[in-house]
Amino acid sequence: MNDYKVGDYQIFDEAGKTINKLNSELDTSKTSIADCKTKLSDSSVFMGPIAEECANTFIKVDKDMSNLMTNFQTIENYLSEVSTNYKSGDANAAKLLLIGADGMISIGSTQTYSDEKDIPKVSVDQVTSCNSVQEYLDLVMPIYTYYCQKYGIKYPGALALQPVHECSAPKGLSQPCALEDNNLGGLKYSSSIPNATPGSYPSDGTGGQYSHFNNITEYIEAHCWNIGHEGSLYQEALSKDNVNDFTHAMVKKWVGPWGKYDSDIVKEYSEYGLDKYEIT
């Protein structure tokens, strides 16, 4: 790409078409695997314990294929954006596409979305399939970055780390509000919250009713809205000009003065390099 030619954008279009075709074929295969799993489960009573083990393998393969399709969609979106920018005359449109050793994808130093319709609908199974906090952050940070920008929040990494301490994401999720309602922060229901419908009831005597979301992506938007919308209870946090003070004020308002994990979030914010997502 040393000699820039507008017509070269076509190589990105062709690559995008290839990824799209692969994703379509994967989707067909995923449907076939789901059908096989259903048929096996229906007949497993006649086959003994090994059939249950096979059915569980089908479930794992289905999850892995979902993650793969999400990654392919990310690449396709990236290629489309590069093609558009390159065609418009941006010779530096092709940023570095990095695939880490853990298989997660990032574009340049960070990744986010330019159009809300391109944001994947992340499931709670995708969260619990993450084997580390880093994998969880790779999954949700692009989404948190988009919605924090939408609602005027400077530190998306601080919000993304909240579920790690609120509900032990990703591997320790056990609360009904997380597993059944896709609600990783115990956000109580209000008709004004985006995407929310009435969910389950708390069993800890705190009262109210949890918000229910169709997927984790919807929760992430609601989480960002709850912090950043005009007239929110987090104006003190939003006024802070550093992540330490922002996190302390946010956690204090979210869980009350007994909240102790704000210092942990600040420490992990630095350890995971989440400052690169800060919105300026």
The mean pLDDT of 196-212, rounded to a whole number, is 90
Q: Is the pLDDT of residue 172 over 90?
A: no
43-57, 150-164, 212-226 — which is least confidently predicted? 43-57
Q: Specify the pLDDT at position 47.
A: 60
Mean pLDDT of 238-243: 95
Q: At what angle do helices 133-150 and 156-166 cross, to 10 degrees?
A: 130
CATH code of the domain made up of 113-280: 1.10.530.10
Distance CA 35, CA 29 (A): 10
The vertex-210 CA angle with 161 and 221, nearest 5°, equals 45
| pLDDT for the residue numbered 20 | 79
What does the domain layout of the chain look like in residue ranges? Answer: 1-94, 113-280
Phi, psi of 98 (to 5 degrees): -110, 130
What is the pLDDT at residue 109?
A: 44
Asked if pLDDT for residue 94 goes beyond 90, the answer is no
Question: What letter represents residue 129's amino acid?
Answer: S
Task: For residues 84-89, give the mean pLDDT.
Answer: 64
pLDDT confidence of residue 242: 95
For residue 177, CA distances in Å to 32, 47, 161, 252 come to 31, 36, 18, 21
